[in-house]
Amino acid sequence: MQTVLNNLGRQDYLTVWRQMQRFTESRTAETADQIWLVEHPPVYTLGLNGKREHLICPNEIPVVECDRGGQVTYHGPGQLIVYLLTDLRRLKLGPRQLVSILENAMIHALEQYGIQAAAKAEAPGVYVGEKKIGSVGLRIKNGCSYHGLSLNNQMDLTPFQYINPCGYAGLAVTQLADQGVDIFTHELAVPVVHDIIKAIET
């Protein structure tokens, strides 16, 4: 079954989250999997196990407590967001395999731009050296996934300084722009999405 790709443009986080929940609750065994591309206005999101103590310097950026895995992260303009709404039972995939698919999609895309990145088993996500460039957070409900990945492209990274990213104090973050790569976020989406679709449709 072919995966449906939806480009949502810039959308409020809470709105898209509720849409993902409704889609997942209403889907059937015949519903095609979907990939949603989106960019969010500035927002901190706190995962199911998230602790507010990791919001070390509260500011005017809103905080949304959501139902994905993981701790706190930041979303903002210039960051690629890819939400993956799949039927894991139909794909015969487990949650850990899906995390690896998302991590590898980011790693392979970064390779195309000359950036060497890697995943860390003890701290999900993608790193350039010791700096985090991509995050993964998923929710699995009734055998289906939603939420997905975020990859820092060309954004203001300052808001990351006011949190412990993903619950790690002092964790530095980076982005493609800081690695000497100047591309539009919709361009970055192409290799990332291609890799994901290749992984889940084969």
Question: Distance (Å, rounded) from C-alpha 36 to C-alpha 81?
Answer: 8
Q: Is 47 annotated as a binding residue?
A: no
Kindly list the structural domains of the chain, giving each domain's residue range(s) and its CATH number in brackets, ordered by start. 4-200 (3.30.930.10)
Any bridge partners for residue 64, and if so which?
Answer: 45
Determine what percent of the chain is predicted with pLDDT higher than 70.
Answer: 100
166 an active-site residue? yes
Q: Is 135 annotated as a binding residue?
A: yes
> Cβ distance 62 to 33 under 8 Å?
no
What does the pLDDT read at residue 25?
97
What does the pLDDT read at residue 176?
98
The string of DSSP letters for 33-46 reads PEEEEEE-SSEEEE
Copy the structure tokens of residue 73. Answer: 């992260």
Q: Which of 57, 66, 144, 166 is catalytic?
A: 166
What does the pLDDT read at residue 103?
98
> Cβ distance 176 to 115 under 8 Å?
yes
Copy the structure tokens of residue 14. Answer: 């809470």
Q: Is 48 annotated as a binding residue?
A: no
Question: Distance (Å, rounded) from C-alpha 202 to C-alpha 81?
Answer: 23
The parts of the chain modelled with pLDDT lower than 70 are none
Q: Is 70 annotated as a binding residue?
A: yes
113-160 pLDDT, tens per residue?
999 999 998 888 999 999 999 999 999 999 999 999 999 999 999 999
What does the pLDDT read at residue 183?
97
Question: How many C-beta atoms surround the C-beta of residue 166 within 10 A?
Answer: 21
